Amino acid sequence: MVWVIEPAGQGLDATLSSYNEKTLKLISHWGAPDTGRIVGTQAGALVLGGDGFRDCPQPSSPNSPAPLCVYRLSSTGALSDSLNVGSAWQLLGPYPAVITTNNADTTTYLERLS
Protein backbone atom coordinates (compact mmCIF):
# COMPACT_ATOMS: atom_id res chain seq x y z
CA MET A 1 0.00 0.00 0.00
CA VAL A 2 1.19 3.50 -0.85
CA TRP A 3 -0.06 6.51 1.14
CA VAL A 4 -0.10 10.12 -0.03
CA ILE A 5 -0.68 13.00 2.37
CA GLU A 6 -1.97 16.12 0.64
CA PRO A 7 -1.73 19.07 3.06
CA ALA A 8 -3.70 22.15 2.09
CA GLY A 9 -4.14 25.62 3.53
CA GLN A 10 -3.73 25.55 7.29
CA GLY A 11 -4.26 21.79 7.52
CA LEU A 12 -8.02 22.08 7.88
CA ASP A 13 -8.78 20.63 4.47
CA ALA A 14 -5.96 18.11 4.11
CA THR A 15 -6.61 14.78 2.43
CA LEU A 16 -5.06 11.33 2.39
CA SER A 17 -5.09 8.80 -0.43
CA SER A 18 -4.18 5.12 -0.53
CA TYR A 19 -2.98 3.33 -3.67
CA ASN A 20 -2.18 -0.25 -4.66
CA GLU A 21 1.61 -0.50 -4.51
CA LYS A 22 1.89 -2.62 -7.69
CA THR A 23 -0.63 -0.92 -9.98
CA LEU A 24 -0.83 2.51 -8.29
CA LYS A 25 -4.60 2.26 -8.65
CA LEU A 26 -6.46 4.48 -6.19
CA ILE A 27 -8.00 2.53 -3.29
CA SER A 28 -9.47 5.37 -1.27
CA HIS A 29 -9.34 9.13 -0.77
CA TRP A 30 -10.53 10.91 2.41
CA GLY A 31 -10.18 14.06 4.47
CA ALA A 32 -8.14 13.95 7.67
CA PRO A 33 -5.99 16.15 9.91
CA ASP A 34 -2.58 16.61 8.28
CA THR A 35 -0.74 16.27 11.58
CA GLY A 36 -0.62 12.47 11.36
CA ARG A 37 2.45 10.50 10.40
CA ILE A 38 1.84 7.22 8.55
CA VAL A 39 4.35 4.37 8.88
CA GLY A 40 4.22 0.90 7.34
CA THR A 41 5.04 -1.71 9.98
CA GLN A 42 4.87 -5.47 10.43
CA ALA A 43 1.61 -4.77 12.29
CA GLY A 44 0.22 -2.96 9.21
CA ALA A 45 -0.10 0.74 8.52
CA LEU A 46 0.00 2.85 11.69
CA VAL A 47 -0.58 6.56 12.26
CA LEU A 48 0.83 8.80 14.99
CA GLY A 49 -1.57 11.67 15.60
CA GLY A 50 -2.99 13.88 18.29
CA ASP A 51 -4.90 17.10 17.89
CA GLY A 52 -7.85 16.48 15.59
CA PHE A 53 -7.75 12.70 15.92
CA ARG A 54 -10.60 10.93 17.70
CA ASP A 55 -10.25 8.82 20.87
CA CYS A 56 -7.02 10.48 21.99
CA PRO A 57 -7.07 12.16 25.43
CA GLN A 58 -7.22 15.93 25.64
CA PRO A 59 -4.39 17.92 27.32
CA SER A 60 -4.55 17.91 31.13
CA SER A 61 -4.39 21.72 31.15
CA PRO A 62 -4.61 24.46 28.49
CA ASN A 63 -0.82 25.01 28.60
CA SER A 64 0.23 21.36 28.44
CA PRO A 65 0.90 19.62 25.12
CA ALA A 66 -1.77 17.33 23.72
CA PRO A 67 -0.91 13.65 24.12
CA LEU A 68 -0.37 11.65 20.95
CA CYS A 69 -1.90 8.31 20.03
CA VAL A 70 -1.01 5.52 17.62
CA TYR A 71 -3.83 4.11 15.46
CA ARG A 72 -4.20 1.25 13.03
CA LEU A 73 -5.03 2.63 9.57
CA SER A 74 -7.11 0.68 7.05
CA SER A 75 -6.75 1.13 3.30
CA THR A 76 -10.01 3.11 3.33
CA GLY A 77 -8.79 5.54 5.99
CA ALA A 78 -10.56 4.06 9.00
CA LEU A 79 -8.67 4.59 12.26
CA SER A 80 -8.98 1.99 15.03
CA ASP A 81 -7.31 0.66 18.19
CA SER A 82 -6.02 3.98 19.56
CA LEU A 83 -3.06 3.68 21.93
CA ASN A 84 -2.02 6.71 24.01
CA VAL A 85 1.74 7.19 23.63
CA GLY A 86 1.94 10.49 25.52
CA SER A 87 4.85 12.66 24.44
CA ALA A 88 5.97 10.52 21.49
CA TRP A 89 7.37 12.56 18.64
CA GLN A 90 8.27 9.89 16.08
CA LEU A 91 6.70 6.61 14.92
CA LEU A 92 9.06 4.00 13.46
CA GLY A 93 8.81 0.75 11.49
CA PRO A 94 9.13 -1.98 10.40
CA TYR A 95 8.88 -3.09 14.03
CA PRO A 96 6.34 -0.69 15.57
CA ALA A 97 8.07 1.70 17.97
CA VAL A 98 7.85 5.32 19.11
CA ILE A 99 10.51 7.76 20.28
CA THR A 100 9.53 9.69 23.41
CA THR A 101 11.20 12.03 25.87
CA ASN A 102 10.77 12.72 29.55
CA ASN A 103 8.95 15.88 30.74
CA ALA A 104 12.19 17.88 30.93
CA ASP A 105 13.33 16.77 27.43
CA THR A 106 16.59 15.52 28.93
CA THR A 107 16.18 11.79 28.20
CA THR A 108 15.08 10.06 24.98
CA TYR A 109 13.39 6.64 24.99
CA LEU A 110 12.67 4.07 22.30
CA GLU A 111 9.46 2.21 23.16
CA ARG A 112 8.47 -0.89 21.18
CA LEU A 113 4.75 -1.34 20.59
CA SER A 114 3.35 -4.84 20.71
Give residue 53's pLDDT band: very low, low, confident or very high (50, 70, 90). Answer: confident
pLDDT at position 34: 57
- In this structure, are residues 67 and 56 in contact, taking their beta carbons and an 8 Å threshold? yes
Burial of 1 (0-12, 13-18, 19+ CB in 10 A): middle
The region of weakest confidence among 8-12, 62-66, 70-74, 76-80 is 8-12
Which residue(s) pair with 61 in the sheet?
none
Question: Could you give the CA distance from residue 94 to residue 38 in angstroms, rounded to a whole number?
Answer: 12
Mean residue pLDDT of the chain comes to: 82
* pLDDT over 90 at 74, yes or no: no
- In this structure, are residues 77 and 30 in contact, taking their beta carbons and an 8 Å threshold? yes
pLDDT at position 10: 64
pLDDT at position 29: 82
One DSSP character per residue, 66-90 reads PPEEEEEE-TT--EEEEEEEET--E
* pLDDT over 90 at 96, yes or no: yes
One DSSP character per residue, 26-59 reads EEEEEE--TT-EEEEETTEEEEEE-TT-TTSPPP
- Average confidence (pLDDT) over 10-19: 74
| Higher pLDDT among residues 52 and 29, named by residue | 29
Question: Could you give the CA distance from residue 16 to residue 107 in angstroms, rounded to a whole number?
Answer: 33
* pLDDT over 60 at 80, yes or no: yes
Give residue 32's pLDDT band: very low, low, confident or very high (50, 70, 90). Answer: low
